[in-house]
Structure 1
Amino acid sequence: MGLNSNKKQFFFERDRYFQKLIAIVGFLNLTLVFFDLTYIPWRDFYLQILPALTQVYDPVKGIEPHPETQNYLDKVDALQAQVLQTGLTSPQTENLLSELRLLSNRLIEENPFDVANKSGTLAKIKNEMRLHTNEQSARDGFATFWSQAYLSQTDWRSQINFFNSLIRPLIQSNYYRDINKFGNFIDRFWLLDLPFIIIFALDVLIRTYHISRSNPNLNWLEAILRRWYDLFLLLPFWRWLRVIPVTIRLYQTDLVNLEPLRKQIDRDFAINFAGELTEMIGVQAIDQMQDAIRRGDLARWLFHPETRRPYIQVNNTNEVRAIAARLFNVSIYDVLPKVQPDLEALVHYNLERTLNESPIYQKIQKIPGLSHLPAQITENLTKDFSQILYNNLIKTLEDPVSTTLMTNLIENVIDAFEAELQKKQNLPEIQSWLISWLEEIKINYVKRIAESEIEKVVEEVENLNYLVRR
């Protein structure tokens, strides 16, 4: 037994460490997925902060330097080298400046930034150059900037520094992204994601195998659906949905404490769901009752018993009559004897008060020797009346003739009551009052449940659970 226990503990700990490892791998994959999703929109930020990262990751997204903008920057580098070698006024330098002016016009006209959805970057370049040269247009600004006269008058080194510090980063941010045969941008992220998917697929298979082994009645599809959210880990699209299984795994392996969040979500869901469900059920039930009253179903049920559906008795006993009979018997045989002194005191008080108001009783009290007689008579009458009443009730219960007469009396009262209710002036008004009363209940009580009552119920349940835990 000890060896088996140790073996089970060993496998349990190993499985727990394995699941933690898978959860960590899932978290790393999810981080990579979100980085990939943000890479294109945030590439300018990565280019400024981590330029080495863009050099590594650009090929994954099929990003290459744009030929036109890269050629433009190469010409600027060639210009710097030529000025250092032959000076600013040499023919070779003038040829390069002329090429830069031509390339600047082509940059403005053809807008190579549009392919990468970076036309706003070109607009910023044009505006910076126009302000720097004090020209009215960006075209004139570039023509002035790439001229021997301007560079000579304003110190060409400071102008090249301006270009390299402000204009060059903006031009470098442009790129060309290749297109595959399906007309979509090249994206090789699946190569990075494939090893993770293989790991997740193996884990899903292992989990499914264990679930099917522990539940022989489940087939493999049903076993997979027991953890349906793990299938998001295998999708090569909508990868952001992996946040669901990864979060669940991190929580289940105690790597992340999501218990407060889970409790709050459960509480909010319970409040909203219970409130809406209670309101819908209450409103629907009242609406059905109102419709039944309008159709006359209630009147037919009350006044035409032959139209009622047969009532199914579970144990061949009319529980309503049995309960009524038992309560009546308990009241007569058990309760009434215990409260008989109180009843006698009440009867004695009322009888004495009635006799005191009688002139004959008052005269008898004034006769010498008979002053105590009225009190004795009252006391005897009280006891006799109470005893007679109690005995009569007992005899009524035990006498079949009395029972039959009482039953006939009750049935005749009910029949007379039904006959009066069915009169034209009574039934429509009662039905109208019932419908209005139900509408008031629906407005004043049912529709207000979602506002505060469910919240109070949930708070009471939480307090009870807290007391139980303590």
Structure 2
Amino acid sequence: MSSLQKLDNQKNQPKRKKKNSRNLWFERAMAIVASANLFLVVFDLSYIPLRDFWLQRRIQVFSFKIGPIVSKGFPVPIPIPNITPLYDPIKGIEPYRDTAQYLERVTQLQSKLIEPGLRSPEVASILEDLRRRSTEMINTNPFQIANKTGNLEKIKNKIVQHLPTPEDSAKESLIKFWSVENLGKNPLDELNFFDKEIRPLIETNYFRPLGENGQFLDLFGIIDFPFFVLFSIEFLGRSWSLSRRHIGVSWLDAMLWRWYDLFLLIPLWRWLRIIPVTIRLDQAKLIDLSAIQKQIRQGFVAEIAGDMTQVIVIRVINEAQDSIRRGEIANWLSQREARPYIDLNNTDEVATLTKIGIQLTVYKVLPEIRSDLEALLKHHLEKILKQSQVYDGLEKVPGVGQLRNQLTEKLVKQITQTIYDGANIAIEEDPVGEQLLQILIKHVTEAYGSQLQTKQTLEDVQSLIVDFLEEMKVNYIERLSEEDLEEILDQSRAIGQIKSS
């Protein structure tokens, strides 16, 4: 590399780092915006189910019923602002006319108790109206639209427990509750009971109109529209940048490159935006999902590894069986293939490899094991001599035993040297010998091929090989299906840890 190139690279490195830093900050900013949008989506989806909490801002703790054991618990207030007046219009929620007027009449009654008093005609008119409205509330169930019928049942149970009647009728209990006789005993306690136990349940009721599409009115799209515009511009900009930066990438390919961002643009199934938000947070390095991604990949591998391996093995065995049925083995042996063998380097690889193996054995291996080979030959030679009757007679002659050892060692060395010299002569450069070897190999191959070409022999061999491959296919797949893939993954993880260490 020239000095000018090095200098140019040194100049480009700070620019590249600065550009990567800008990209990272942009990714983080967009990830935070997407997270804020997801937070709003989750809040919107949970607002209706949790509206009672946002309205009353308290949690009932230790409230349960297990068989005969009943615990009312106690409320714990949560110091948060009341957001229902702000968000109810977004969900199209309005006060339910009948229940709202019911509570207004109760408030009017509370203001009239002192002046003009409980026995006044005005109070009597209010009580009459409350008894009528109570009957209508029980009969018509105004809580049904808001899916709050359970709260109506709670009202019935509480009023019956407070003022029991012979028939345990909630309607009769409410009529009795809004009577001068009942309120005259202790009006403050009765109205405090209503404010504490009954009023919060009635306040949860609401009316929600239907839109022209037959669904409940929902204006969350107004809040979501600015995010839609921002994410659309970003998506188009990223697609344009990817199509310009990578050769052969069209606009459609670039859009599919970041397919998960489409969930930010779809007004349906908004909860699926958790997918692009999670990916963006990981790309912006605000969270680390490498461990989760590793587990997902391993789980994916565990699911498809068995099926993929079975398909590959079956395909290979089927190809081998088809080749045998077509007679390609016999054609290869007889050198009469339908498609001629293609030699890429004008070299007989089999003969060359055989020659290399012999040279390696003679020049490298035999010198290393010569002493061991001589000891083995000496042992067997002595064993043969001991079995001879002549040898037993000579053993009794003085001096013959030492002579025998000398002769044995000399004979072993001569045999070893003869083998070694013969091998050296065999591997020396001998064009005529090599040609004769090639002719021999050719004639042996042709002989085998001609014999295999006989109809009965060829059919028997092909049938046996095909059956053997079929048995191997069945047995292999059976073993594979019984293999514990989790154990294989454990072994793979162990190998990865060894490599990393």
With the length of structure 1 as denominator, give the TM-score of the two structures. Answer: 0.84
Cα distance in 2, alignment partners of residues 95 and 433 from structure 1: 101
Contact 2:323–2:329 under 8 Å retained in 1: no
Alignment correspondent of 1:284: 311
C-alpha deviation, 1:119, in angstroms: 1.1
Segment of structure 1 superposing worse, 86-95 or 442-451:
442-451
**Of residues 212, 218, 239 in structure 1, which corresponds to 2:270?**
239
Alignment correspondent of 1:158: 189
Cα distance in 2, alignment partners of residues 348 and 412 from structure 1: 41
Secondary structure at 2:94's aligned position in 1? strand
Contact 1:348–1:379 under 8 Å retained in 2: yes
C-alpha deviation, 1:320, in angstroms: 4.5
Q: How is 1:32-111 mapped onto 2 (pairs within 5 angstroms)?
A: 32-49=40-57, 52-111=82-141
Contact 1:348–1:382 under 8 Å retained in 2: yes
> Would the alpha carbon gap of residues 382 and 326 (structure 1) be closer, same or farther in structure 2, given more than 3 Å must change?
same
User: Is 1:201 aligned with 2:232?
Assistant: yes
C-alpha deviation, 1:181, in angstroms: 2.2
Alignment correspondent of 1:140: 172
C-alpha deviation, 1:312, in angstroms: 4.3
> Would the alpha carbon gap of residues 270 and 207 (structure 1) be closer, same or farther in structure 2, given more than 3 Å must change?
closer
C-alpha deviation, 1:440, in angstroms: 3.8
C-alpha deviation, 1:73, in angstroms: 1.0
> Would the alpha carbon gap of residues 51 and 110 (structure 1) be closer, same or farther in structure 2, given more than 3 Å must change?
farther
Cα distance in 1, alignment partners of residues 240 and 307 from structure 2: 43
Contact 1:361–1:374 under 8 Å retained in 2: no
Cα distance in 2, alignment partners of residues 190 and 424 from structure 1: 75
**Of residues 201, 221, 246 in structure 2, which corresponds to 1:190?**
221
C-alpha deviation, 1:158, in angstroms: 1.0
CA deviation string 1:432-454 (max 9, x = no partner): 66654554443345641513022
Alignment correspondent of 1:250: 281
> Would the alpha carbon gap of residues 30 and 425 (structure 1) be closer, same or farther in structure 2, given more than 3 Å must change?
closer
Q: How is 1:16-35 mapped onto 2 (pairs within 5 angstroms)?
A: 16-35=24-43
Secondary structure at 2:89's aligned position in 1? helix
Give the % identical residues. Answer: 34
Cα distance in 2, alignment partners of residues 3 and 278 from structure 1: 48
Contact 2:135–2:171 under 8 Å retained in 1: yes
User: Is 1:448 aligned with 2:496?
Assistant: no
Cα distance in 2, alignment partners of residues 370 and 134 from structure 1: 132
> Would the alpha carbon gap of residues 372 and 17 (structure 1) be closer, same or farther in structure 2, given more than 3 Å must change?
closer
User: Root-mean-square deviation (CA), in Å?
Assistant: 3.6
Cα distance in 1, alignment partners of residues 465 and 482 from structure 2: 24
Secondary structure at 1:65's aligned position in 2? coil
Secondary structure at 1:187's aligned position in 2? coil
> Would the alpha carbon gap of residues 378 and 426 (structure 1) be closer, same or farther in structure 2, given more than 3 Å must change?
same
Cα distance in 1, alignment partners of residues 202 and 348 from structure 2: 93
Alignment correspondent of 1:211: 242
Cα distance in 1, alignment partners of residues 365 and 380 from structure 2: 22
Secondary structure at 2:214's aligned position in 1? coil
Contact 1:233–1:242 under 8 Å retained in 2: yes
Equivalent residue letter for 1:42: L
CA deviation string 1:400-433 (max 9, x = no partner): 65775687678768988999x9499998778666
Unaligned runs of 5+ in 2: 1-7, 58-79
Contact 1:293–1:435 under 8 Å retained in 2: no
C-alpha deviation, 1:187, in angstroms: 1.0
Cα distance in 1, alignment partners of residues 11 and 341 from structure 2: 63
**Of residues 328, 338, 341 in structure 1, which corresponds to 2:358?**
328
C-alpha deviation, 1:138, in angstroms: 0.9
Number of aligned residues? 461
Q: How is 1:67-466 mapped onto 2 (pairs within 5 angstroms)?
A: 67-135=97-165, 136-153=168-185, 155-215=186-246, 217-255=248-286, 257-258=287-288, 261-266=289-294, 268-288=295-315, 297=324, 300=327, 302=329, 305=332, 311-368=341-398, 370-394=400-424, 398=430, 399=433, 422=457, 435-436=470-471, 438-444=473-479, 447-465=482-500
C-alpha deviation, 1:146, in angstroms: 1.0
> Would the alpha carbon gap of residues 241 and 312 (structure 1) be closer, same or farther in structure 2, given more than 3 Å must change?
farther
> Would the alpha carbon gap of residues 94 and 213 (structure 1) be closer, same or farther in structure 2, given more than 3 Å must change?
same
> Would the alpha carbon gap of residues 15 and 450 (structure 1) be closer, same or farther in structure 2, given more than 3 Å must change?
closer
Secondary structure at 1:134's aligned position in 2? coil
Segment of structure 1 superposing worse, 422-431 or 104-113:
422-431
- Which structure carries more helix by proportion? 1
> Would the alpha carbon gap of residues 235 and 345 (structure 1) be closer, same or farther in structure 2, given more than 3 Å must change?
same
Cα distance in 1, alignment partners of residues 217 and 174 from structure 2: 34
CA deviation string 1:52-83 (max 9, x = no partner): 21111101101000011111111111222232
Cα distance in 2, alignment partners of residues 281 and 439 from structure 1: 16
Cα distance in 2, alignment partners of residues 82 and 304 from structure 1: 114
Contact 2:102–2:130 under 8 Å retained in 1: yes
> Would the alpha carbon gap of residues 367 and 324 (structure 1) be closer, same or farther in structure 2, given more than 3 Å must change?
same
Secondary structure at 1:235's aligned position in 2? coil
Equivalent residue letter for 2:291: K
CA deviation string 1:327-382 (max 9, x = no partner): 23422344334433332222222112212332223333444565543333323322
Secondary structure at 2:88's aligned position in 1? helix
Contact 1:396–1:402 under 8 Å retained in 2: no
Cα distance in 1, alignment partners of residues 467 and 253 from structure 2: 54
> Would the alpha carbon gap of residues 248 and 141 (structure 1) be closer, same or farther in structure 2, given more than 3 Å must change?
same
Cα distance in 1, alignment partners of residues 357 and 338 from structure 2: 27
